[in-house]
Amino acid sequence: MTDEKDYSFLLSPGNKTRHVAGPFDVKNRMPHYEIEINVPSHVRNQVEVIQFLLGTPENCQWAWDIKNNTTWPVFVTIKKDGQKV
């Protein structure tokens, strides 16, 4: 099975997105998802990142809302259990 989702992407200035990383087991708290935001350090505080779970306890998805309030493009990378997906 091939995962067609894009786990590394560019978010243009002034844009926002919701990215659903994948399934999350609430009982085992696995897998561990991480988000990496690459943008110049002087504008990093202008990138809003909100992480949350979608769904029900039996069927959760780990997700982020990301808003780029800068004038720079933001490169976003999602990791699963410490590895680039």
Average pLDDT value for residue range 46-64: 94
Contact status, residue 34 vs residue 74, Cβ threshold 8 Å:
no
pLDDT at 7 over 90: no
Q: Which residues pair with 5 in a beta bridge?
A: none
| Amino acid 1: pLDDT | 37
Separation of alpha carbons 72 and 38, rounded Å: 10
Listed by start position, the domains of the chain span: 8-84
| Amino acid 5: pLDDT | 64
Average pLDDT, the chain: 91
